[in-house]
Amino acid sequence: MKSSFASFPRQKTVKSTAELEVELNATYAFDAITEAGANLVPLAGPELQGLQNLGNSCYMNSVCQTLFSGSIPELSQKYSSKNIMNHALYKSISAKDAASNVLCQAVKMTNALTSGNFVGPLPESATVTDSASESTNPKYRLAPRMFKNAFAKGHCDFVTGQQQDAVHYLQHILEVLDKAESEYALPAEDTNQSPSSHLFAYQTVSRLVCSEDNMVKYKTNSLETVLSLSIPMDKIEEMPPDQKRHKSETTEDIKTAEKQDVPSIQFKSCFDSWIAPTSIQDMKWPHLQNATFPATNQNKFETFPPYLFVSLQRYRLGADWVPEKLEVNVEVPEEIDLNEYKSKGPMSGESLITEEIEKEASSEDTATATKTIISESALDQLSAMGFSVNGCKRALLAVGGSDVESAMNWIFEHNMDPDFNDPPNEEQGSSSTSGIDESVVDTLVNSLGCFTSDQVRAALEECESDAARAADWLFSNMVSFLQCPKLLF
């Protein structure tokens, strides 16, 4: 008997990730980014060396071209040499370790990109073609496999052939270089002995204003190498309409195909948004005994680096908590003045929160914590029973300030004392005279559950304020409590 399902044709409705990528590549307009059909001029020579894509390694190639192609003279001076085999780093590294040594591979990369030795002068008849055979010809491109393996060793993401974030890779490169440079002595003639990351390191300072007393605190943040700026989309509407451009202005064909206008925003607006004051809720202020009040925060530069890397945040969370990309052109000028974004330090008329003020407030807070505070409600309950106010205060000071039951027991034992109705020493209380930490007393009373605060306090006196020994002493002397004159009931 034939199956009844044979007559119904099956149709696939869900596509795998690989199939989606293939479909995207088949429909993607690569000519929009490869400038197909344009009259291009082939170039070759020093600082014009290309790198071959090793399968989604464009993030690595872009970082290497930025760091080691001569754009940063300090790095080129540190890692290049006229005769590559005479470089000091090669002399200190054995041949068997060269392939995995990051400094060795950095020297190789720098010389490959700056020397021009790997690609000779192009003949006048040379042309740029789109054929795969020409684009992958080793004569025009180098494959940095050793460099990738050396720097990606031990990293779970960069060791793969998947696409990664260029900013994260840049920070990884600088971190690995700093660690390797600290292990090898650079040549004495090298004038740049500082770590490579110091060329891009900067500090920011935060100006915090307390909403309670308007006092100002300046906080210097740790060194960073990449400045992350958000794109203020709300600033786009304020721009004149003539500043808005299409997504691409390379060819007339792309202008015609792209019907939707992509807005533009000035690069300076991103810096203005970065230094704009922001609100911080429930910030703890040490000068106010760690009380929480709102604060206003403003960030500015404390120091400028020789070279500043900026990362624009083009993704944000949408209303459905799904990341969405911001379709916007950022107009970056050739020159920009950052002096207005540098902190000028404390201004005249500001009431500053200094470290001395915070330390003084901390010491006062500690002194207040050791002082026994009498609960007004407990005092009213005891006074309503007919005892004198001074006697009730003495009882509450003896038991921590708020335990009514323990205070009653203390009154029954001491109401015949000659000084029972004398004014007590509220500044110190019984805890300061005995040197017992009341917080330890409260902890043991709550954790043990079967002893009063007076019993715990007496046990701490017997055991030199050692909480563990006092707990053991209490359980060991439960039978003989009545024989101990220091234990009060």
Amino acid identity of residue 64, one-letter, is: C
Backbone φ, ψ for residue 283 (5° rounding): -90, 140
Domains 17-196 and 370-483 share a fold: no
Distance between CA atoms of residues 169 and 104, nearest Å: 19
Sole residue written with tokens 């684009």? 135
Closest by CA position to 457, among listed 447, 446, 475, 470 = 470
CA 456, 457, 462: angle at the middle one, nearest 5?
Answer: 95
CATH class of 370-483: mainly alpha
Amino acid identity of residue 116, one-letter, is: G
CA 270, 275, 277: angle at the middle one, nearest 5?
Answer: 125
Task: Decide: 63 and 166 in contact? Cβ < 8 Å.
Answer: yes
Whole-structure pTM value: 0.62
**482 to each of 239, 382, 432, how far by Cα in Å?**
86, 25, 25
Rg (CA), the chain: 37
Distance between CA atoms of residues 448 and 318, nearest Å: 52
Please list the helix, strand and coil fractions of the chain in percent, rounded to the nearest 5, in that order: 45, 15, 45
Q: Which residues pair with 293 in a beta bridge?
A: 283
In the three-class reduction of DSSP (H, G, I as helix; E, B as strand; rest coil), residue 69 is classed as coil
Task: Decide: 115 and 95 in contact? Cβ < 8 Å.
Answer: no
Amino acid identity of residue 68, one-letter, is: F
Write the CB contacts of 109 (distance below 8 Å, at least 6 apart in sequence): 64, 68, 79, 144, 147
Quote the DSSP letter at residue 197.
G
Closest by CA position to 35, among listed 122, 130, 126 = 130
Closest by CA position to 329, among listed 406, 395, 398, 267 = 267
Pick the CATH number of 17-196 from 3.90.70.10, 3.30.300.20, 3.90.650.10, 3.40.50.150: 3.90.70.10
What's the confidence (pLDDT) of residue 1? 46
**pLDDT digit of tens for each residue in the chain (489 aa)?**
444 444 555 666 666 666 666 665 555 454 444 555 556 666 667 778 888 888 888 899 999 999 999 899 999 888 876 655 666 666 777 778 888 899 889 988 998 888 877 766 666 655 555 544 444 455 567 889 999 999 999 888 898 888 899 999 999 999 999 998 887 765 555 545 688 999 999 999 999 999 989 999 999 998 999 999 999 988 775 444 444 444 445 455 455 445 457 888 999 999 999 999 999 888 888 888 888 889 999 999 999 999 999 999 988 877 888 888 888 999 999 999 999 999 998 988 899 998 888 888 777 655 554 556 777 778 888 888 878 888 888 888 887 777 888 888 888 888 777 778 778 765 444 433 345 666 677 777 777 767 777 777 778 877 767 777 777 777 776 655 544 444 443
Handedness of CA 362, 366, 371, 373 (dihedral sign): positive
Q: Are strands 309-313 and 226-230 parallel, antiparallel or unpaired?
A: parallel
Q: Which of 28-51 are b and which e, b meaning 16 or more Cβ less than 10 Å from the residue's Cβ? A: eeeebeeeeeeeeeeebeeeebbb
Q: If you write DSSP's letter for every residue of 329-397 in order, what string do you get?
A: EEE--S----GGGB---SPTT--B--HHHHHHHHHHHHHHHHSPPPPHHHHHHHHTTT--HHHHHHHHH
Closest by CA position to 409, among listed 459, 471, 454 = 454
Distance between CA atoms of residues 235 and 328, nearest Å: 11
- Give long-range contacts, CB 8 A cutoff, 24+ apart: 233-236: 233/265, 233/326, 233/328, 235/265, 235/269, 235/272, 235/273, 236/263, 236/264, 236/265, 236/328
Distance between CA atoms of residues 218 and 220, nearest Å: 7
Q: Domain boundaries in the chain?
A: 17-196, 203-365, 370-483
CATH superfamily, region 203-365: Cysteine proteinases (3.90.70.10)
Closest by CA position to 178, among listed 87, 102, 288, 261 = 102
- The helix-helix angle for 58-68 and 166-181 (nearest 10°) equals 50
Write the CB contacts of 176 (distance below 8 Å, at least 6 apart in sequence): 102, 151
Distance between CA atoms of residues 331 and 265, nearest Å: 6
What's the confidence (pLDDT) of residue 176? 93
